[in-house]
């Protein structure tokens, strides 16, 4: 009984941290959320979800985590960002995380990409377009992670409330 309380509490902590991790780049949001499904499955003696459901959610979690690394770069490149813009966006993301979390990360990616393009590229006219691409890519990535982690959170709570 005590172990179940600990596991449920830990599940809520990991699921909530997973949602937070969708906007904080140092936390693996969907992976933490998925860990909550495993914890509630242990509490419910593996009766809460079918093995197929857990495998599918695991694949979705891994896919979201992998895509999180590629979506911003692909959208940025499509909008004309160079390596300088992409590196500027990464620096801006990290700086924004500390200056004005969590929104500073999104603003920082845009400002960093524009600054990188303005400082290191001869084509100044593409700087805003590149910054917009980085911003869109980051936003799409965050929305994907929130969708996956939010769905997992829903299934976690539903399994917890079932007898």
Q: What is the per-residue pLDDT across 94-153, written as a single tens digit (0 to 9) for each?
A: 888 888 876 787 788 889 989 988 988 777 777 888 888 888 888 899 999 999 999 999
Tell me: the pLDDT tens digits for 42-99? 999 999 999 999 999 999 999 999 998 888 878 888 888 888 888 888 888 888 888 8
- Determine contact, residues 152/30, Cβ cutoff 8 Å: yes
């Amino acid at each position: 009984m005590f172990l179940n309380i600990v596991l449920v509490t830990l599940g809520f902590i990991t699921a909530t941290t997973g949602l937070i991790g969708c906007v904080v780049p140092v936390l693996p949001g969907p992976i933490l959320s998925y860990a909550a499904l495993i914890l509630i499955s242990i509490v419910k003696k593996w009766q809460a979800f079918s093995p197929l459901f857990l495998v599918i959610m695991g694949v979705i979690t891994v896919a979201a985590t992998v895509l999180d690394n590629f979506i911003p770069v692909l959208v940025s490149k499509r909008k004309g960002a160079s390596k300088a813009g992409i590196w500027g966006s990464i620096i801006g993301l990290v700086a924004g995380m500390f200056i004005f979390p969590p929104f500073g990360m999104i603003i920082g990616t845009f400002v960093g990409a524009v600054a990188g393009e303005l400082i290191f590229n001869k084509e100044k006219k593409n700087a805003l377009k590149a910054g917009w691409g980085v911003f869109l890519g980051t936003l799409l990535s965050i929305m994907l992670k929130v969708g996956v982690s939010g769905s997992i959170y829903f299934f976690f709570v539903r399994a917890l409330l079932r007898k």
